[in-house]
Amino acid sequence: MFNKLLKNSFIYVLGDVLNKSIPFFMLPILTRYLSPGDYGIIASFSALVSVFAVCSGLSVHGAVNVNFFRMGKEELKEYIGNTIIILNVSTLIIFVITFIISPIIGKRLSLPTEWILIAVILAFSQFLTTINLVLWTAEQKPKQYTIYQLSQTLLLASLSLMFIVALKMDWKGQLIAQSIGTILFAGFSFLFIIKRGYLRFKLNKEYVSDALKFGIPLIPHQLSMWLKTGSDRMILMALVGSAQTGIYSVGYQLGMVINVLVTAFNKAWSPYLFRVLADNPKFETKLKLVKFTYIYMVSIMVIALIFSFSTKYIIPIFLGKKFVAATAYLIYFSIAFAFQGMYSMVGNYVFYAKKTNLVAYVTFTTSLLHVAMTYTFVKMYGSIGAAYSTVISYFLTFIAMWYLNNKVYPMPWFFGNMSNK
């Protein structure tokens, strides 16, 4: 099982590295055809899609991952059908509300109404793709997962180059490419789910209730993640303008290299961990999990520091003169994403215990603190202040989740004896 974990981790890491390296290596081209202001608008649109994605589907896709090992396939296919029913109803409500208030949103973000409504559709589409990817993760099929993601990224990259470089459509070209790729692959995901026999539409109130009980408490948690990754763009747009927001966003994208590593590993680790926990592990097994977690924590922080210090001399040549200031953000985002990886390692136990309401309290509280710190620090230090607040808030979230983990699913973090729970 451990050898399989290593093999799957390698495939996920390799796939995510390739997947994220495509837009990463497009940066030298795009930063020479797009202005910092264009990047600011693109970042604002992406933040808008993300906040719609929090509410579209009500975060019930996570329940599919947990119930995959607890249900037979016939039950699971009906369960997934009910999650998509929830998606349809919630998205329709969001679309109507957004249409009504779109003039207000458009004024704040400098986006036309049609793009605001398209953001709702993209949030709907992302949910379908997420369900498909969740199933491949639970099935421990990293090859299919990786090929699918790479195909989507290659399409998005090709369309972006065509619209931005060939047709010179500035920020609109990126948004058009994102829309076409996201909607098209949502359709593919829906077909894959059907083909693999994971879908049956039959309204089941018990399944709807179970999915909502899992997902709704996670909405503050998901919203808190948006507050950490989207609110900073909004605050920067308001206080320092689209150009500084664009440079900040490029620096964030550079730091995403560390996020790629921690996310890829967790995709392989969480199914393995859930399977071990489902067997009611003994103390010795728990102790091995703890030791492995500590090794991981030290390793990812070392990797983050080496990455940030070794690449900052190359990035100015890589990005070009317009975006050279983005290098100042690299170390802060690298460390922040290392803490995010640590958070995932301890948070998996809380998710397994289905204490998602407690997760929401922790993440939402620290995210509100993040927003307050971002606004204060940006006023005091400029755009770099948003990076300061990111590191602090990610660290506090990790520590709080670690404390919560020890309450709901105790582990021998200090290597002492404990009762096998």
**Cα 418 to Cα 306: distance, rounded to the nearest angstrom:** 37
- pLDDT of 419 over the 70 cut: no
Q: With a cut of 70, say whether residue 362 has pLDDT above it.
A: yes
Structure tokens at 406: 């020890």
Supply the pTM of this predicted model. Answer: 0.73
Which of 147-151, 353-357, 407-411 is least confident?
Answer: 353-357
- How far from 341 is each of 34, 312, 374, CA to CA, in Å? 32, 22, 22
Mean pLDDT of 104-125: 87
Lookup result for tokens 């995959």: 68
Give residue 421's pLDDT: 43
* Between 13 and 149, residue with greater pLDDT: 149
Residue 242 pLDDT greater than 80, yes or no: no
Q: Please report, rounded to a whole number, the percentage of residues in the chain having pLDDT higher than 70.
A: 97
The predicted structure's pLDDT at residue 96: 94
4-56 tens-digit pLDDT:
666 777 787 788 778 877 887 888 888 888 888 888 888 888 888 988 988 88
User: Look-up: residue for tokens 């016939």?
Assistant: 74
Task: Give the per-residue pLDDT at 310.
Answer: 82
Q: How far apart are the first and last CA of the chain?
A: 23
Question: What mean pLDDT is predicted for residues 103-110?
Answer: 78
Mean pLDDT of the chain: 86
- How do residues 285-294 score in pLDDT, each as one tens digit? 889 999 999 9
- Average pLDDT rounded to a whole number, residues 214-238: 80
